C-alpha cells in the first residue's frame, strides 16, 4: 500500500529545498551587484549560519512542545512572506542590504524550526519498519536541489533580479499546501519528563554517541575541501567553465549517492556504512595530488561524496526510528548542532593551511584526517555493527502504509503512542 502523506511531504520539501537553493545562490550575487562588496556578499551566508547555530537547540525544544503540523505551516508561511517582501521592494527599486540580511535570518530561523518538525512528523507518518528507508529517500531531494538550484538561480537572475525571491516564495507556498494536505494527526507529544534533552539522549545511545561526532569531523573536512579543490584547478590552468564543471561533477556524485542510499540501507549495516564511507574518502582524497585535470578532480570529489547521503540517512534514520516522540525535535536539532559545529570555521582553517603550507600539504593533511577517521570507525564500529541499530530501537508494527507514490492510507491508522 502506498503512503499518500509521505509523498505529499516529500514533494513539498523537494520544491521548498529547490527554492532555498535558488535563493542561496542568488543572495550573494545580488548583494555583490548591489554593494560591490565581497564582504557584504559573504555576510548573507554568515548571518544565516549564525542564526541557525544560535536557534537550532531552542527550536528543537519548542517543536517538542507544539503541534508539528502547525510548526511547519507557520514556518512555510513566514518564509513565504519574507521572500515576498524582498520581491516587492525590488519591484519598487528599494532593495537594501539590511532588508536582505533580515530576510536571510528569518529564512534560516524558521528553517531550523521546520526541519525537526518534519522529522517528528515522519516518525508518525511512516511505518516503524520503513522509517530508515524514508530518511534515505529524503536525501535525494536535497542533493538534487543543490545540483539544480544554482543553474536555475542564474537563469532567473538574468531574467530579473527579483525572480529568485519569487521562486523561493512560491516554493514555500507550495510546501505549505502539501503540509496542509497531510491527513495524519501530528499533535504535540504527551507531556513526559525527558531527562537532559536531545544531547543527553544522543549520549545515551551507544551508536550515536560515536557516529554523530565522527560525522561532524568528516563534515568539517568536506565543508572546507571545496576551497582546496578550487585552488588546485586554478593552479592547473582551468577556465571558469571548467572550474564550474569540476564542482558540478562532484555534486553529481552526491546526487547518485542519494539515489543509491535506499539500496545501500538494505545491504549494509549502519556501522558498516560509516566504515565504507571513511575508507572511500581516505582512499580517493590523495588522488587529488596526481592529476591537474578539472574533470578527474571532479570525479574524485564525486567518489568521495558518493557515500555521504547514506551516512546521513543512517544517522538521522536511526534518530527518527528510536527517539521518543517527545524528544524527536530536540534529538534531531542536537545531532545537527554537533555535526555542523565546526562547519563555520573549517573553510577559514583551510584558507590558513593553503596560505601557510600550500595545496599539496593541505591535501595530505586532509587525507591524514580522513584516514584517522576511517581507522577509528573500523576499530570502534565494526565490533558492534550488527547491534548499531538495536540500541533503544523500540519499534512496533503499525498499519502497513508503504512509501511509494500515489494515493493511499493517510493518518487514520497512525499510532498515537509516543514511543516506537
Q: Is residue 398 part of a domain?
A: no
Residues 41, 120, single domain; the answer is: yes
Q: For residue 86, is pLDDT > 90?
A: yes
CA distance 264 to 266: 5
In this structure, of 75-89, 168-182, 314-328, the range with the lowest mean pLDDT score is 314-328
Encode 166-188: b = buried (16+ Cβ within 10 Å), e = exposed. Answer: bbbbbbbbbbbebbeebebebeb
Mean pLDDT of 12-37: 90
What residues make up the domain containing 78? 1-187
Q: Which long-range contacts (CB under 8 A, 24 or more apart) does 368-373 make?
A: 369/217, 369/221, 370/218, 370/221, 370/278, 370/281, 370/282, 370/285, 371/282, 373/214, 373/217, 373/218, 373/278, 373/281, 373/282
Q: What is Dmax (Cα atoms) for the chain?
A: 63
228 and 358 inside one domain: yes
What CA–CA distance (Å, rounded) separates 165 from 83? Answer: 5
Are both 104 and 181 inside the same structural domain? yes
Q: Give residue 411's pLDDT.
A: 33
Using CA atoms, how far apart are residues 54 and 49, in angstroms rounded to an integer?
9
Under DSSP, the state recorded for 324 is -
**384, three cell numbers:** 558492534
Question: Which has the minimum average pLDDT: 63-67, 172-176, 342-346, 413-417?
Answer: 413-417
Judge whether residue 106 has pLDDT over 90: yes
Percentage of residues in the chain with pLDDT exceeding 70? 89
When divided into structural domains, the chain yields a total of: 2
One domain, residues 181 and 271: no
What totals of helices (H) and strands (E) does the chain contain, helices first? 14, 0
Flag whether 407 is in a domain: no
If pLDDT is split at 50, 70 and 90, which confidence band does 416 have? very low
Angstrom distance (rounded) from CA 169 to CA 156? 14
Q: Which residue's entry shows cell 570525479?
A: 299
Question: Which of 211-215, 293-297, 334-338, 339-343 has the weakest average pLDDT?
Answer: 339-343
Helix segments in 323-418, DSSP class H: 328-339, 346-381
Of the candidates 75, 40, 70, 69, the residue with the CA atom closest to the CA atom of residue 55: 75
> What span, in angstroms and rounded, lies between the C-alpha atoms of 201 and 115?
18
Residue 402 in any domain: the answer is no
Q: Are 144 and 203 in the same domain?
A: no
Sign of CA dihedral 66, 61, 111, 4: negative
Q: What is the pLDDT of residue 227?
A: 81
Give me the percent of the chain exceeding a pLDDT of 90. 53
pLDDT at 399 over 80: no
The pLDDT score that the predictor gives to residue 225 is 84
DSSP label of 275: H
Mean pLDDT lowest among 108-122, 157-171, 288-302, 376-390: 376-390
In a domain, 397, yes or no: no
Q: Which of 159, 187, 215 marks a domain boundary?
A: 187
- Among the listed residues 187, 415, 183, 208, the one whose alpha carbon sits nearest the alpha carbon of residue 323: 208
Residue 13: band (very low, low, confident or very high) from pLDDT cuts 50, 70, 90: very high
Interior CA angle at 255 toward 317 and 219, to 5°? 60
Q: Summarize the confidence of residues 251-265 as an average pLDDT.
A: 90
How many whole angstroms separate alpha carbon 2 and alpha carbon 348?
Answer: 47
Is the domain of 180 the same as that of 32? yes
User: For residue 105, what is the domain's CATH number?
Assistant: 1.20.1250.20
Q: Return the minimum-mean-pLDDT range out of 82-91, 222-231, 267-276, 398-407.
A: 398-407
The one-character DSSP state at 418 is S
What is residue 193's predicted lDDT score, i.e. its pLDDT? Answer: 58
37 is a domain residue: yes
Q: For residues 334 and 381, which has the higher predicted lDDT (pLDDT)?
A: 334
Boundary residue ending a domain (164, 187, 210): 187
Report the range of poorest mean pLDDT among 30-34, 396-400, 416-420.
416-420
Three-class SS state of 3: strand
Inform me whether the pLDDT recorded for 402 exceeds 80: no
Q: Give the CA distances from residue 412 to residues 186, 325, 409, in Å, rounded to whole numbers and listed in that order.
A: 11, 18, 7
What is residue 110's predicted lDDT score, i.e. its pLDDT? 97
CA 178, chain centre distance (Å): 20
Mean pLDDT, residues 327-343:
91
DSSP β-bridge partners for residue 409:
3
| 401 in any annotated domain | no
Average confidence (pLDDT) over 376-381 = 89
Which of 12-16, 34-38, 173-177, 240-244 has the lowest average pLDDT?
240-244
Q: Is the pLDDT of residue 51 over 70?
A: yes
Are 250 and 110 members of one domain? Answer: no
Q: What is the pLDDT of residue 233?
A: 86
Looking at residue 207, its pLDDT comes to 92
Of the candidates 127, 182, 166, 251, the residue with the CA atom closest to the CA atom of residue 12: 182
In this structure, is residue 409 part of a structural domain?
no
Q: Do 82 and 129 share a domain, yes or no?
A: yes
Residue 412: predicted pLDDT? 30
**What pLDDT score was predicted for residue 129?**
83
**Mean pLDDT score across all residues of the chain:** 85
| Residue 384 confidence (pLDDT) | 59
For the stretch 169-228, pLDDT in tens is: 999 999 999 999 999 999 988 765 556 688 999 999 999 999 999 999 999 898 888 888
Say yes or no: 146 and 55 in one domain: yes
Asked if 324 and 183 sit in the same domain, the reply is no
- Report the pLDDT averaged over residues 82-102: 95
Distance CA 66, CA 57 (A): 15
Q: pLDDT of 259-269, one tens digit each?
A: 899 899 888 88
Q: How many CB atoms lie within 10 A of CB 29?
A: 16
Residues 125, 9 contacting (CB under 8 angstroms):
yes
Question: Does residue 127 form part of some domain?
Answer: yes
> Same structural domain for residues 122 and 257?
no
339 and 374 both lie in a single domain: yes
User: Is the predicted pLDDT of residue 257 greater than 70, yes or no?
Assistant: yes
For residues 394-407, one letter each, b for 16 or more C-beta atoms within 10 angstroms of the residue's C-beta and e for the rest, the string is eeeebeebbbeeee
Amino acid at each position: 500500500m502506498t503512503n499518500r502523506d509521505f509523498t505529499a511531504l516529500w514533494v513539498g520539501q523537494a520544491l521548498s529545498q529547490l527554492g532555498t537553493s535558488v535563493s542561496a545562490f542568488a543572495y550573494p550575487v545580488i548583494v555583490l551587484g548591489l554593494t560591490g562588496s565581497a564582504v557584504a556578499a559573504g555576510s548573507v551566508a554568515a548571518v544565516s549560519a549564525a542564526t541557525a547555530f544560535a536557534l537550532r537547540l531552542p527550536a528543537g525544544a519548542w517543536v517538542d512542545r507544539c503541534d508539528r503540523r502547525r510548526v511547519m505551516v507557520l514556518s512555510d508561511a513566514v518564509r513565504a512572506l519574507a521572500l515576498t517582501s524582498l520581491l516587492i521592494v525590488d519591484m519598487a527599486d528599494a532593495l537594501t542590504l539590511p532588508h536582505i540580511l533580515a530576510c536571510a535570518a528569518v529564512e534560516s530561523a524558521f528553517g531550523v524550526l521546520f526541519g525537526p518538525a518534519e522529522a517528528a512528523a515522519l516518525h508518525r507518518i511512516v511505518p516503524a519498519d520503513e522509517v530508515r528507508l524514508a530518511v534515505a529517500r529524503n536525501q535525494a531531494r536535497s542533493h538534487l536541489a543543490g545540483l539544480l538550484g544554482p543553474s536555475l538561480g542564474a537563469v532567473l537572475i538574468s531574467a530579473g533580479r527579483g525572480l529568485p525571491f519569487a521562486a523561493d516564495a512560491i516554493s514555500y507556498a507550495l510546501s505549505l499546501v502539501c503540509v496542509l494536505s497531510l491527513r495524519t494527526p501530528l499533535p504535540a507529544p504527551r507531556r513526559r519528563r525527558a531527562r537532559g534533552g536531545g544531547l543527553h539522549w544522543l549520549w545515551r545511545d551507544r551508536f550515536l554517541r560515536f557516529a554523530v561526532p565522527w560525522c561532524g569531523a568528516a563534515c568539517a573536512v568536506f565543508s572546507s575541501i571545496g576551497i582546496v579543490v578550487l585552488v588546485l584547478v586554478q593552479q592547473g590552468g582551468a577556465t571558469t567553465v571548467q572550474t564550474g564543471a569540476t564542482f558540478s561533477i562532484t555534486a553529481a556524485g552526491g546526487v547518485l549517492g542519494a539515489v543509491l542510499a535506499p539500496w545501500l540501507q538494505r545491504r549494509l549495516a549502519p556501522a558498516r556504512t560509516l566504515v565504507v564511507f571513511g575508507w572511500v574518502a581516505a582512499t580517493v582524497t590523495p588522488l587529488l595530488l596526481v592529476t591537474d585535470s578539472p574533470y578527474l578532480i571532479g570525479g574524485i570529489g564525486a567518489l568521495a561524496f558518493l557515500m555521504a547521503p547514506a551516512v546521513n540517512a543512517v544517522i538521522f534514520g536511526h534518530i527518527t526510528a528510536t527517539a521518543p516522540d517527545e524528544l524527536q525535535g530536540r534529538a534531531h536539532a542536537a545531532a545537527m548542532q554537533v555535526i555542523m559545529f565546526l562547519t563555520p570555521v573549517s573553510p577559514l582553517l583551510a584558507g590558513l593551511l593553503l596560505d601557510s603550507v600550500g595545496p599539496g600539504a593541505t591535501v595530505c593533511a586532509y587525507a591524514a584526517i580522513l584516514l584517522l577517521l576511517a581507522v577509528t570507525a573500523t576499530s570502534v564500529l565494526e565490533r558492534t555493527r550488527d547491534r548499531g541499530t538495536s540500541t533503544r530501537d523500540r519499534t512496533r508494527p503499525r498499519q502497513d502504509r508503504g512509501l511509494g507514490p500515489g494515493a493511499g492510507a493517510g493518518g487514520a491508522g497512525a499510532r498515537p503512542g509516543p514511543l516506537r
